[in-house]
A = this chain, B = another copy of it.
Amino acid sequence: MDKSQIEALLVGVQQGKIAVDEAMEQLRELPYSDLGYAKIDNHRALRNGYPEVIFCQGKALPHIQGIVQKMLERGERNILATRASRAVYEAVAEITGEAEYHEDARIVVVRRQPVRLKTEKPVAVVTGGTADIAVAEEAAVTAEVLGNRVERLYDVGVAGLHRLLSNTGVLFSANVVIAVAGMEGALASVVGGLVDKPVIAVPTSVGYGANFGGLSALLSMLNSCASGVSVVNIDNGFGAGYLASMINQM
């Protein structure tokens, strides 16, 4: 139930088209639906502007199915499930025919109405290398589902700076930039020095040795000498896409 749905409900009540009892019933689970193993935050769309997202990693398949089922019953228009394996996708597909799977991004989307662009201004998603694409796609698909236009610019790491410098058009026209990089994570600083828009840095666990599971890129990005750069968790493509959308639609 997002803002427009609640507004429609209240207008219906005001106009006598919906009985108070019926409205009460619909609003009963407004704060959250309690499934025992999960409390779905239905109020989130009102409070944060977006419906709750299902983080699948570590959740049992029946739990995921139960949550999706409840959200469908509650009339959520679009459902986003992240860190979703193919098995998750298949479990959701048993429940609804509207599930689609973004394999690279490990995201399941249940799209019950077309995503409408909420702004024309693009979000740029850039990566240092080819191996960072999975995380980048998580960010890109998230931003797209939330109503943003996304420009992808992949494999432009600083070891071959001209690849980035010959594509500054994408960077300069973007309203928000998501910089995804593993190894030394220098991309975020270089991009941050070039643009006058917020840069959301996503360290990835891509690399080996003294990378220590993404620590090198994380520290590098936190210590960026460029202003306007902030950082999300290692491999957290979803968080970057979500925040980019929030900023882009301000």
Contacts and interface: CB of A to CB of B under 8 A. Distances in A.
Interface of A: 31-32, 36-39, 41, 43-44, 47-50, 52-53, 55, 57-59, 63, 128-131, 133, 154-163, 166, 175, 183-186, 189-190, 192-198, 200, 203, 205-236, 238-240, 242-243, 246-247, 250
Contact of A197 (B53, B195, B240, B246): B246
B227 A210 contact: no
16 contacts: A31-B163, A47-B196, A48-B196, A59-B131, A159-B225, A183-B224, A184-B221, A186-B189, A186-B220, A190-B190, A196-B246, A207-B223, A209-B223, A209-B234, A229-B239, A250-B250
A36 B154 contact: yes
> Which of A208, A213, A231, A247 has the most chain B CB within a 10 Å cutoff?
A208
Contacts of A31: 162-163, 166
Tallying the copies of this chain within the complex gives 8
Contacts of A203: 209
Given A130-B38, A162-B43, A166-B31, A223 B216 contact: yes
A136 to B, nearest CB: 10
A21 B26 CA distance: 42
